[in-house]
Amino acid sequence: RGGADRAFQSFLSYFLNMQVNRFFPSDAAAVLGAVVPTTSIENDQIDALREATAANDHTVSAVVRRITELGAIPIVIGGGHNNAFGCLKGSSEAKGRAINCLNIDAHTDLRMTEGRHSGNGFTYAVDAGYMANYFMLGLQENYTPEYIWQTIEHNDAYNVASFEDLQSGELTQDEALILVAEHLGMEYGLELDVDAIANFPSSAQSVSGFSFDQVRQIIYALDMLPHYLHICEGRVTSEEEHALVGRGLALLVSDFIKAHIFSE
């Protein structure tokens, strides 16, 4: 489903209207701009779409790398989860090493390297040496094919706390966050696919998932020194979705800045 390309503008319309006060001063963040596609490709042109995605990777990674080199923390909003690869590549190149990553997501995005798309950014990042350890939080078991479960099981760089683990009581949220810290340390990139949030407008919207407030709590609870934040897959196809996505993303970004960048 379309609409993820409009999430950034919806976010801006609400983020730029937040109050400037002691909890969130305006000098804690700067808006750089947007990566805008210059061509339109039909959905059935698979090869052309994958080539365009790979070309976009170079643009995203160059921007993320430059921001990181300047000592700032990139916050990437909107679009598809294909942009995870560019975020990981750019951050890795700036740091001079493979980086760790936490992905809060209903899906692994560890599909096969069959040409670039939104479902295999992390696979490509591992293969290229940009990503080291990878933790998946909130993965929904029914959405994950068996070959990916086997990949996770046989690769020590991968770890997971599924949504079902949390719902069944096998893990508490605090226990899951301890696993994150043990697997990733303190320094890692943070990926948030909003399809992990129940009923949030997204490209793969679900009736089940974290509540919005749970995700806000997780952002505050993470003990991390972030390489970057990437929030993706918010869908905007109506005025109602514009308001929901815009307000939601603005809150999540402000939470991240307050928790991990700005100190009172």
Please write the tens of the pLDDT for every residue from 168-186: 999 999 999 999 999 999 9
| Structure-token pair, residue 115 | 């040409």
Domain count of the chain?
Answer: 1
Separation of alpha carbons 159 and 166, rounded Å: 15
**CA proximity to 207, closest of 243, 163, 246:** 163
The per-residue pLDDT for 38 is: 75
pLDDT at residue 43 in the model: 81
Q: Report the pLDDT value the prediction gives residue 99, as an integer from 0 to 100.
A: 99
Confirm whether 234 is domain-assigned.
yes
Q: What is the pLDDT of residues 27-82, one digit of tens each?
A: 878 999 998 877 788 888 888 888 888 899 999 999 999 999 999 999 999 889 99
pLDDT at 27: 83
- How many angstroms separate the most distant Cα atoms in the chain? 50
pLDDT above 70 (res 264): no
pLDDT score at 223: 94
Closest alpha carbon to 103 in 160, 23, 182? 160
Instruction: Report if residue 16 sits inside a domain.
Output: yes
For residue 38, is it within any domain? Answer: no
Domain that holds residue 242: 4-33+44-260
In a domain, 39, yes or no: no
pLDDT for position 213: 98
> What CATH number has the domain bearing residue 26?
3.40.800.10
pLDDT reported for residue 1: 55
Residues 6+ apart with CB under 8 A from 257: 24, 28, 29, 75
Q: What average pLDDT does range 100-111 have in this prediction?
A: 97
In the sheet that holds 75-77, the strands lie side by side as 75-77, 225-232, 187-193, 99-104, 131-139, 158-162
Which pair of tokens denotes residue 148? 């990916």
Q: Comparing 40 with 150, which gets the higher pLDDT?
A: 150
The answer to whether 88 touches 189, Cβ cutoff 8 Å, is yes
Does 106 reside within a domain? yes
Region for residue 79 given its phi and psi (left: phi exceeds 0; alpha: psi -120 to 50; beta: otherwise): left
Residue at 99 is within a domain: yes
The whole-model pTM stands at 0.95
261 pLDDT tier (thresholds 50, 70, 90): confident
β-strands 75-77, 225-232 pairing: parallel
Average pLDDT rounded to a whole number, residues 196-216: 96
3-state secondary structure (DSSP) of residue 196: helix
